[in-house]
Structure 1
Amino acid sequence: MKITKEIKTGILALFAILLLIYGYSFLKGSDLFSKERTFYVSYDNVAGLTVSAPVTINGYVVGKVKKIEFENDLGGLLVSFSVNKDFNFSKSSIVRIYSTSVIGGNALAIIPIISKDNIAVDGDVLKGEIEKGMLESLTSGIKPLENRIYTTLSGLDSLLSNFNSVLNEETKNNLKNAIGSLTNTMSSFEDTSSDLNTLLKENKPKLDSTFSYLEITTGNLATFSDSLNQIDINRMATHLETTLESFNSIMHKFDSGEGSIGKLINDENLYKNLEAASKELEELLRDLKENPKRYVHLSVFGKKTTEYESLDSNNN
């Protein structure tokens, strides 16, 4: 039998619908092919329990919360959850809401009662309870926060009151004047900055020339520094030391009376003779200045020459 195009299209559409249903169920966390069992439990308060919260037995995840809805007009809540493991427990077992962590939310824990009689089956309603101290701990955690908020608000109120008391008319005027002065200062600063920019633009060629000269000078200093580095300092020091030794040797000879200059310096008699000769030369020059006729004779008729008299005799 030949399968028509319409049949193929219908089969494909049916397969797509089934696949869509399975995918939707999978995204919701339900497995159409699993042998899960659904149970129900009633609470007056679910303490923040949410759909898809885990269901555990002895800490092992065996299912999840499927639905939470109001059970009656009094506000009671009916929680439906699934168990997909082949673990049998008694219908008298307790389903407890507990906190998984401080910020991790809540979950359901089945406290199993193992009994071969009265085994819980799909659709049974189990007994529920909330973990002891859970609400109390939540309340106790909120109370300190409430106190802190109250203290903070009180402090903020006091701060605002003090701030309003400080902001009197005089203070407001002072603030206005300060803001005005600050505005004037900023305006003056902008004018100064503009003048400085104009000055820099007008003197840019001179500044460029100055920086170029500074660069050349720096290069010359670097060259001079290199020249100083190339000087043989040790050789100069050795040469200077040799020169000083020679000078010391000459001075030693002078002091010891060696050579003509040394004898001239150290011979006391020679010094006295030189002093006497200098004194006589001084007297001769003075007499020549005072009595030139004694030394220069210009006589036409043969005038008798005046005899020389020593200065010592004249002084006497």
Structure 2
Amino acid sequence: MKITKEIKTAILVLLGIFLFIFGYNYLKGQNLFEPKNIYYTEFDYNALSSSSVVTVKGNQVGKIQDIIYDYKTGKTRTAFSVNEQLKFSVNSKVRLYETGLMGGNALAIIISNDGELAKPGDVLESEIQVGLITSLSKNFSGLSTDLNATLKSTDTLLTNINKIVIDESDAGLKRTIAELNATLKSFKNLANSLNTVVSENDKNITSILDNFKTTSNDLAVMTSELKEAKVGNTVESLNATLTNVNSLLTNLNNGEGSMGKLLKDETLYQNLEGATKEMEALLKDIKLHPKRYFRILSKKEIPYQESETN
């Protein structure tokens, strides 16, 4: 996959930001990748800087994190960090001593194994190495020389940065910035094109929004009408009716009631069938022998006579 110039520019910018943050913290004596615990100690005066180190038996194990003057006690509270692997007792002492390098000073932890282990945030007892103040007064004379050397180093660094900025090669930073400017112009042209499209179709967009508004109003009215129609009550009434019908059909199926017995009672069916046959025979007999039934309508008793059989 080919990496575009825009991606290269973004990577370069992010890398520069990361290096700036890392370098700034490194100059302050902080390592972002080192796990550490913070402890405190107090002195009557301040002879340290944020770049001072913390040592154990001559080995660097931490850095000074913060130096704060306590207005209540009149002492200087120093916060320092050490590697979390370092374990020591709360009875250990923190000694202020001269490093001998450019007249700098540092802290040394005099480890003690008595008592419980110190926890991050504990305040440790401090002490000062004998002859430190005299040594500090002698080092003030060399301050101007050290400052001059520092300024020369800074000038050299700025010169090198200037060379990078005015580099005319393909890989130079100046060319990269120019490409980034061209990319921003392309985005600007795209935004202008989109603005033109919106302007040309302003009427269509307005019409679409009006139609959508009308549709929304119609849906709202329909929803209100359905709510006022009490569809829920109608459904409940229909459900109750279906329940009654289901109960009626169940009773019929179980043979309950007159209709149920008529449907399920075979004896009643047989009786009805027999009565029907007898009624049919009676009607047939009345049709064939009407004189036999005249005695019922006559005031005189007419004896019953057997019909002649064929």
The alignment's TM-score, normalised by the length of structure 1, stands at 0.36
Q: Which has the larger radius of gyration?
A: 1
> TM-score when scaled to structure 2?
0.36
